[in-house]
């Protein structure tokens, strides 16, 4: 992420000028207070949201340049588990 900012429509700026880099093969833990922008940052990495400003690059791919039809293939490279997953309703 380079200079990434995000603002929900009609809302306040959630992320402002975020710069973040993680080398291939490395792990990171993201934590912070409620409302700090953790979920929003992850949504940007998974192309669930798009930044208001800045550049998001994953595996050398500038996400702003991906067309809508390319998004599913990109998402197969990114794993994400939400706090309250609802993928299989009959499973715990």
Burial pattern 12-44, b for ≥16 Cβ within 10 A else e, equals eebbeebeeeeeeeeeeeeeeeeeebebbbebb
pLDDT digit string (tens) for the chain, length 92 residues: 999 999 988 888 999 999 999 998 888 888 888 888 998 999 999 999 999 999 999 988 999 999 999 999 998 888 777 666 566 667 66
6 C-beta neighbours (distance < 10 Å), count: 21
The pTM score is 0.81
CA-CA distance, 19 to 72, in Å (whole number)? 25
């Amino acid at each position: 992420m380079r200079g990434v900012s995000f603002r929900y429509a009609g809302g306040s700026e959630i992320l402002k000028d975020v710069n973040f880099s993680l080398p291939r093969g490395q792990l990171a833990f993201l934590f912070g207070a409620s409302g700090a922008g953790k979920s929003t940052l992850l949504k940007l990495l998974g192309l669930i949201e798009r930044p208001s400003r800045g550049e998001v690059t994953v595996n050398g791919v500038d996400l702003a340049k991906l067309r809508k039809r390319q998004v599913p293939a990109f998402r197969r490279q990114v794993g994400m588990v939400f706090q309250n997953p609802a993928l299989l309703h009959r499973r715990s």
